[in-house]
């Protein structure tokens, strides 16, 4: 079928279809979803199990291990990590990379089933286990609610009211509060009064537990009515609670307020605290429904907040730590501007190189291709974000490649005196299948990332889809719309003038002579290329390595780790000092802090730290992301000096998965905790000895102090006191014991019983903690039933990896990339002599990069075979495809030179760019060899090689130059710069070499004789 002739003869249909694509593309663009960065699924769930009173090792053996064993039976689990601490087990269960879409939800359901099955194997007092599968939820709106002069409860009441309003907004999935203190009712008995009256704490507890229980008294029939029965007596106020009657040993009824102080307070110690610019705050996070538009949701929330502004109490402020809708709008506007700039650059190049008619024609085809791509993106839910728009910029040069070949062919034939339709039809029929094959090969060059199932592949998956859509459309339009526009708008030149000047300009003349020399001295040419390849391979050892680059987000994080076991209030005091210093730095606009755990996940790459009273984090806003590098170095140095007991390290956000701290990570596994700590100390010593490392630490942290009352069995037995009685007495004295609930409106406030403040002010008062003796019928101090108090140290945290106790040692680079530091410390660590049963494996950025690369390369062989088959099918021969594939490695010369010249690191995006180069270079080589095959039917083989190469010089160079210049906007994008350098430098170098090497290899493989000197 003559596609071009059909499009020309049905020009009305062709133009109407084009108009529909233009209009549809504009509409699709306006309605496409928008994100700053693409989403990726966090295929991780937490299994949390409480085991009050147990040590970390008891939790490990009795809770973590049986749950791990049950979960391990799941075929979908990639890895299991567990964190056992005093009284708490937390398993992190990650699913395999091939578990995608709805299968992730099903996998989490299966996880619940396995965890439920394991409950029967847990010890008494442990559980029930809770599976948290919302660990990966992102709260795109995260604000700190502050109010100078307002109490904690007033702030919380306002936050709760705001939560009820926002959860009803269209597009909102969840609204969650953070660091909201639990209001608590404290009952603090007077031990002397209790002893005198013979009232036990258990009697008070029993009364409190039953006071506010909702019980069903049933209904009674009265006439024709069925009336509910509800006994009175529930407490409606604190005064009601204080007036509860407690029976003494003698039968006397005593008001609770006569034997105990009843007051309202807050849960102590708090689990999490938050501050914003030095003021106490409550965090509020809002997440978007699955598949929702974060920009639309953000605008709706903002509108609702504006409506509620009149009802907001004076002095209460909403301070945004993250407002994703605004970030997305600003980012997408920047990406679109880059796209428009790149399109303009490409069109200007076309206008200068091919004349204004040809340039405008191809520019129009390019615009239609881009708009058509928007339609396909809309149809397949590919949103506008950094990767999808970056893919369009990357593809621009390739998009005009097909049209350049067609238009250049039409111009050549018009200059030879052909008729317009004949010229268009002939060039399309001649090149449509070679261009189709070359386009398919170019698409396959990006296909590996489209089939990669890990988080990196998911993050970059839209790159392949956009390339697929745009390049496919470019081929369709180049064989339909481009020839029609050429027939209707290209000017037919004077044939006599044209024939003389078709390919006889100075550029063509220089190229022809250079090519003839290279063919005549072919082995010298091969030797030169071989030397260049050798130098590039040698030079590649000096290229910096990385995974994903640091983000341009104008925020950075500062982790503060006090010694393990530090009280949360002491950690807060340390953070207050840190806040004051950081707030005073130039370029810092706001400082938020969280204490006791990480914040809500407000951006996808952020991984919140699990609860730990010794942990705090600063979230620092700056006015320009470029200042972060110097600021974090200053913060590291100053805060480390200010807080000598703390481990402090600042770090930026990272594009994509695999961010955070601990980019260099060694995992040491083995059975004995003491041996693990000893090996970890040796590894830490190696890390610290390197002059470019900071934040060296291990995840077991320091051992924590523990006090052990030694129960005197004889004395305790004589008084009827058991070991649990002693434990409960100590807990009740200092932290308090939950005795019931108090109803305040819709809220259920816990009722806690604890000793008065003077009795729990010092640890030395532990010996005076009162325990009830049923034999004596009175309280006795526990010093009467314990022989003494021993102080020791124990592991506060025990991590396991793959069901073995594992200590992870972390470090981060002070400057440069983690890979360079890792490569230097790795040999020394691996030379360590380890006891039998212990081993070291590497995690961190090394592991993340290897997993991403393995997932990427797992599909490469398939697409490589397809690319080879296409090139073989195009020529139905072997020598031509061999020539084509021998040119692919030439890209390495330009890539290494470009990366070394710019200082860019070869990371995952650069690797993807390098793989995609193969498709681009093959496409160029196919175009040249196809032309040679046509020429040799009428010319000698030597003349065919030279003549065809000269004819294809402009299309090939134009495609490469437009691709390279179209990359200019990406050189300012921190995420794409390495890929842009890789593609630009690799393509330009390789294209120049290809236009020499392809003809030379063709001459070698086909045995072309050297041209006699007289004929040159």
The three-state DSSP-derived secondary structure of 825-872 is HHHHHHCCCCCCCCEEEEEHHHHHHHHHHHHHHHHHHHHHHHHHHHHH
Torsion of the alpha carbons at 940, 945, 951 and 954, rounded to the nearest 10: -170
Express as a percent the part of the chain with pLDDT over 70: 96
Residues 620, 522: one domain? no
**452, 476, 492: which is the final residue of a domain?**
492
Confidence band of 657 (pLDDT split at 50, 70, 90): low
- Lowest-pLDDT choice from 31-40, 148-157, 279-288: 31-40
Residue 627 maps to a domain: yes
Q: Please, are residues 955 and 525 in contact by the beta-carbon 8 Å criterion? A: no
Residue 477 maps to a domain: yes
Residue 423 maps to a domain: yes
- State how many domains the chain has: 4
Residues 371, 450: one domain? yes
**Mean pLDDT of the chain, nearest integer:** 86
Q: Average pLDDT, stretch 579-601? A: 92
Residues in a beta bridge with 669: 806, 839
How long is the chain? 1016
Question: Nearest CA to 469 among 368, 385, 337, 331?
Answer: 368
Q: Please, are residues 738 and 750 in contact by the beta-carbon 8 Å criterion? A: yes
pLDDT digits (tens, 9 = 90+) for 869-914: 988 988 888 999 999 888 888 888 888 888 888 888 887 778 777 8
Q: In whole angstroms, give the CA distance from residue 94 to residue 454.
A: 12
pLDDT of 985 higher than 80? yes
Residue 306 maps to a domain: no
Q: Please, are residues 385 and 36 in contact by the beta-carbon 8 Å criterion? A: yes
Whole-number pLDDT of residue 769: 84
Question: Nearest CA to 171 among 29, 284, 286?
Answer: 286
CATH number at residue 116: 3.30.70.1430
DSSP label at residue 646: S
pLDDT of 28 higher than 50? yes
Residues 533, 561: one domain? no
Whole-number pLDDT of residue 937: 84
Higher pLDDT, residue 322 or 251: 322
pLDDT of 438 higher than 70? yes
Cβ neighbours for 115, distance < 8 A, ≥ 6 positions apart: 47, 67, 70, 71, 129, 131
DSSP H or E run through 648: strand 647-652
Residues 880, 1011: one domain? yes
pLDDT of 496 higher than 70? no
| Both tokens assigned to 276 | 């914003």
Whole-number pLDDT of residue 727: 87
| Both tokens assigned to 606 | 């952020």
pLDDT digits (tens, 9 = 90+) for 321-374: 999 888 777 777 877 887 888 888 888 887 887 778 888 888 898 899 999 999
Q: Please, are residues 86 and 59 in contact by the beta-carbon 8 Å criterion? A: yes
pLDDT of 1012 higher than 60? no
Whole-number pLDDT of residue 741: 82
Q: Is the dihedral of CA 937, 939, 945, 951 positive or negative?
A: negative
Question: Nearest CA to 414 among 403, 425, 404, 430?
Answer: 425
pLDDT digits (tens, 9 = 90+) for 1-12: 788 889 999 999
| Both tokens assigned to 691 | 């002059």
pLDDT digits (tens, 9 = 90+) for 258-272: 888 888 888 888 899
Q: Average pLDDT, stretch 510-522? A: 88
Residue 581 maps to a domain: yes
Whole-number pLDDT of residue 734: 86
pLDDT of 842 higher than 90? yes
Whole-number pLDDT of residue 656: 66
DSSP H or E run through 263: strand 260-266
**Where in 324-397 does DSSP place strands (E)?**
none
Whole-number pLDDT of residue 233: 63
Rg of the chain over all Cα atoms, to the nearest angstrom: 36
Which parts of 549-595 fold into alpha helices (H)? 568-583
Whole-number pLDDT of residue 65: 93
| Both tokens assigned to 1015 | 């004929």
Residues in a beta bridge with 621: 555, 590
pLDDT digits (tens, 9 = 90+) for 75-98: 888 889 999 999 999 999 988 877
Residues in a beta bridge with 747: 744
**637, 652, 667: which is the final residue of a domain?**
652
pLDDT of 131 higher than 70? yes
Whole-number pLDDT of residue 498: 43
Q: Average pLDDT, stretch 423-431? A: 87
pLDDT of 644 higher than 60? yes
CATH number at residue 432: 1.20.1640.10
For strand 804-813 and strand 693-698, is the pairing parallel, antiparallel, or unpaired?
antiparallel
Confidence band of 224 (pLDDT split at 50, 70, 90): confident
Q: Give the Cβ contact number of residue 835 at 10 Å.
A: 11
Confidence band of 817 (pLDDT split at 50, 70, 90): confident
Question: Is it true that the peptide bond before 120 is cis, omega within 30 degrees of 0?
Answer: no
Q: In whole angstroms, give the CA distance from residue 705 to residue 614.
A: 14
Residues 54, 16: one domain? no
pLDDT of 792 higher than 80? yes
Residues 466, 510: one domain? no
Whole-number pLDDT of residue 618: 95
Residue 336 maps to a domain: no
- What is the number of alpha carbons within 13 Å of residue 915 lying toward its C-beta? 23
pLDDT of 501 higher than 50? no
Whole-number pLDDT of residue 613: 92
- Lowest-pLDDT choice from 249-253, 612-616, 828-832, 834-838: 249-253
Question: Nearest CA to 994 among 915, 888, 896?
Answer: 888
Residues 451, 468: one domain? yes
DSSP label at residue 643: -
> In sequence order, what DSSP letters do the residues of 747-787 get, joined into one string?
EEEEEEE---TTTSSSGGGGGG-EEEETTTTEEEEGGGTEE
Q: Please, are residues 257 and 251 in contact by the beta-carbon 8 Å criterion? A: no
Residue 4 maps to a domain: yes
Residue 129 maps to a domain: yes
pLDDT of 551 higher than 60? yes
Whole-number pLDDT of residue 500: 46
**114, 134, 154: which is the final residue of a domain?**
134
- Lowest-pLDDT choice from 175-184, 276-285, 659-668: 659-668
Q: Which residue bears the tokens 């937490």?
A: 46
Residues 483, 508: one domain? no
Q: Average pLDDT, stretch 499-517? A: 75
Q: Average pLDDT, stretch 140-168? A: 91
Residues in a beta bridge with 255: 245
Higher pLDDT, residue 723 or 36: 723
How far, in whole angstroms, is CA 20 from its chain's centroid?
38
- The backbone torsions φ and ψ at residue 528, rounded to the nearest 5 degrees and listed phi first, read -60, -45
Whole-number pLDDT of residue 924: 81
For strand 664-669 and strand 647-652, is the pairing parallel, antiparallel, or unpaired?
unpaired
Q: Give the Cβ contact number of residue 189 at 10 Å.
A: 23
- How open is the CA angle 223-226-229, to the nearest 5 degrees? 115
Burial class (CB in 10 A: 0-12, 13-18, 19+), 182: middle
Interhelix angle 324-354/294-308, rounded to 10 degrees, is 140
Domain that holds residue 412: 1-30+354-492
Express as a percent the part of the chain with pLDDT over 90: 30
Residues 450, 370: one domain? yes
pLDDT of 598 higher than 70? yes
Residues 396, 505: one domain? no
- Lowest-pLDDT choice from 338-342, 480-484, 560-564, 856-860: 856-860
Q: Average pLDDT, stretch 133-155? A: 88
- How open is the CA angle 734-735-737, to the nearest 5 degrees? 115
Confidence band of 319 (pLDDT split at 50, 70, 90): very high
DSSP label at residue 289: P
| Both tokens assigned to 206 | 């029993």
Question: Nearest CA to 562 among 704, 442, 430?
Answer: 704
Confidence band of 756 (pLDDT split at 50, 70, 90): confident
Confidence band of 499 (pLDDT split at 50, 70, 90): very low
Q: Average pLDDT, stretch 750-779? A: 83
- What is the number of alpha carbons within 13 Å of residue 217 lying toward its C-beta? 10
Residues 617, 509: one domain? no
The SS3 of residue 516 is helix
Residues 25, 47: one domain? no
Q: Average pLDDT, stretch 490-498? A: 61
Confidence band of 208 (pLDDT split at 50, 70, 90): confident
Q: How far apart are the first and last CA of the chain?
A: 42
């Amino acid at each position: 079928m003559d596609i071009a002739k059909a499009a020309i003869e049905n020009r009305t249909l062709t133009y109407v279809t084009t108009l529909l694509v233009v209009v549809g593309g504009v509409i699709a663009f306006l309605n496409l979803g928008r994100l700053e960065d693409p989403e990726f699924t966090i295929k991780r769930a937490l299994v949390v199990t409480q085991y009050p009173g147990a040590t970390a090792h008891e939790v490990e053996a009795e809770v973590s291990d049986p749950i791990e064993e049950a979960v391990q039976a799941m075929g979908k689990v990639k890895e299991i990590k567990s964190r056992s601490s005093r009284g708490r087990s937390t398993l992190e269960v990650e699913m395999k990379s091939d578990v995608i879409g709805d299968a992730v939800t099903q996998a989490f359901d299966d996880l619940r089933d396995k965890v439920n099955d394991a409950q029967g194997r847990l010890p008494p007092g442990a559980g029930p286990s809770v599976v948290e599968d919302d660990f990966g939820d992102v709260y795109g709106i995260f604000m700190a609610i502050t109010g100078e002069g307002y109490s904690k409860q007033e702030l919380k009441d306002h936050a709760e009211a705001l939560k009820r309003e926002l959860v009803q907004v269209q597009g909102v999935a969840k609204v969650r509060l953070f660091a909201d203190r639990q209001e608590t009712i404290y009952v603090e008995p007077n031990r002397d009064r209790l002893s005198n009256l013979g009232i036990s704490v258990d009697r008070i507890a029993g009364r409190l537990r039953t006071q506010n229980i909702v019980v069903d008294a049933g209904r009674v029939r009265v006439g024709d009515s069925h009336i509910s029965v509800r006994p009175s007596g529930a407490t409606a106020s604190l005064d009601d609670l204080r007036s509860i009657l407690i029976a003494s040993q003698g039968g006397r009824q005593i008001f609770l307020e006569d034997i105990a102080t009843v007051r309202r307070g807050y849960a102590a110690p708090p689990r999490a605290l938050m501050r914003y610019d030095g003021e106490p705050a409550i965090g509020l996070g809002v997440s978007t429904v699955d598949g929702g538009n974060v920009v639309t949701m953000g605008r709706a929330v903002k509108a609702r907040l504006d409506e509620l502004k009149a009802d907001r109490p004076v002095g209460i402020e909403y301070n945004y730590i993250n407002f994703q809708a605004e970030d997305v709008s600003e980012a997408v506007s920047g990406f679109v501007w880059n796209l428009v700039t790149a399109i303009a650059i490409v069109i200007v190049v076309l206008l200068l190189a091919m004349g204004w008619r040809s340039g405008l024609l191809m520019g129009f085809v390019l615009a239609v291709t881009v708009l058509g791509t928007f339609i396909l993106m809309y149809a397949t839910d590919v949103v506008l974000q950094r990767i999808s728009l970056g893919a369009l910029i990357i593809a621009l040069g390739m998009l005009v490649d097909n049209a350049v070949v067609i238009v250049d062919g039409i111009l050549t034939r018009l200059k030879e005196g052909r008729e317009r339709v004949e010229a268009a039809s002939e060039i399309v029929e001649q090149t449509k299948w070679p261009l189709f094959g070359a386009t398919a090969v170019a698409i396959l060059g990006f296909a590996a990332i489209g089939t990669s199932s890990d988080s990196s592949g998911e993050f970059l998956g839209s790159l392949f889809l956009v390339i697929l859509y745009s390049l496919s459309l470019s081929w369709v339009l180049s064989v339909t719309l481009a020839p029609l526009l050429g027939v209707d708008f290209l000017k037919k030149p004077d044939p006599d003038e044209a024939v003389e000047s078709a390919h006889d300009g100075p550029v063509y003349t220089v190229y022809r002579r250079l090519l003839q020399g290279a063919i005549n001295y072919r082995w010298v040419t091969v030797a030169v290329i071989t030397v260049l390849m050798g130098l590039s391979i040698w030079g590649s050892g000096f290229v910096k390595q990385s995974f994903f680059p640091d983000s341009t987000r104008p925020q950075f994080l500062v982790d503060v780790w006090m010694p393990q076991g530090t009280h949360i209030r002491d950690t807060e005091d340390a953070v207050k000092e840190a806040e004051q210093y950081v707030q005073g730095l130039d370029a810092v606009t706001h400082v938020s802090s969280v204490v006791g755990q990480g914040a809500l996940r407000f951006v996808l790459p952020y991984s919140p730290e699990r609860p730990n009273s010794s942990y705090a984090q600063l979230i620092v806003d700056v006015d320009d992301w470029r200042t972060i590098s110097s600021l974090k170095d200053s913060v590291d140095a100053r805060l480390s000096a200010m807080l000598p007991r703390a481990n402090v390290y600042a770090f930026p956000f990272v594009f994509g998965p695999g961010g955070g701290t601990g980019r260099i990570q060694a995992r040491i596994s083995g059975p004995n905790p003491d041996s693990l700590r000893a090996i970890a100390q040796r590894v830490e010593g190696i890390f610290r000895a390197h002059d470019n490392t900071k934040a060296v630490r291990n995840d077991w942290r320091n051992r924590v102090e523990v006090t052990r009352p030694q129960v005197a069995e004889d004395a305790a037995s004589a008084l009827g006191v058991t070991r649990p009685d002693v434990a409960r007495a100590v807990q009740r004295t200092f932290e308090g014991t939950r005795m019931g609930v108090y109803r305040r409106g819709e809220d259920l406030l816990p009722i806690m019983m604890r000793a008065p403040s003077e009795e729990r002010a010092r640890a030395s008062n532990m010996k005076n903690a009162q325990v009830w003796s049923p034999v004596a019928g009175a309280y006795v101090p526990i010093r009467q039933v314990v022989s003494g108090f021993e102080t020791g140290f124990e592991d506060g945290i025990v991590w396991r990896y793959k069901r073995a106790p594992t200590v992870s040692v972390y470090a981060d680079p002070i400057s440069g990339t983690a890979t360079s530091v890792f490569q230097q410390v790795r040999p020394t660590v691996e030379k360590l002599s380890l006891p039998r049963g212990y081993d070291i494996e590497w995690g961190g950025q090394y592991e993340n990069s290897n997993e991403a690369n393995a997932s990427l390369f797992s599909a490469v062989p398939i697409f490589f075979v397809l690319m080879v088959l296409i090139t073989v099918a195009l020529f139905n021969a072997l020598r031509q495809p061999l020539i084509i594939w021998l040119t692919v490695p030439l890209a390495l010369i330009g890539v290494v030179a470009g990366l070394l010249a710019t200082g860019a690191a070869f990371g995952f995006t650069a690797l993807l760019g390098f793989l995609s180069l193969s498709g681009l270079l093959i496409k160029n080589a196919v175009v040249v060899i196809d032309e040679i095959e046509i020429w040799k039917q009428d010319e000698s083989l030597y003349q065919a090689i030279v003549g065809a190469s000269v004819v294809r010089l402009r299309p090939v160079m134009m495609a490469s130059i437009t691709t390279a210049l179209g990359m200019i906007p990406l050189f300012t994008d921190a995420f794409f710069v390495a890929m842009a350098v890789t593609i630009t430098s690799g393509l330009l170098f390789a294209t120049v070499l290809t236009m020499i090497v392809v003809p030379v290899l063709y001459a070698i493989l086909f045995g072309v004789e050297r041209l006699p000197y007289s004929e040159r």
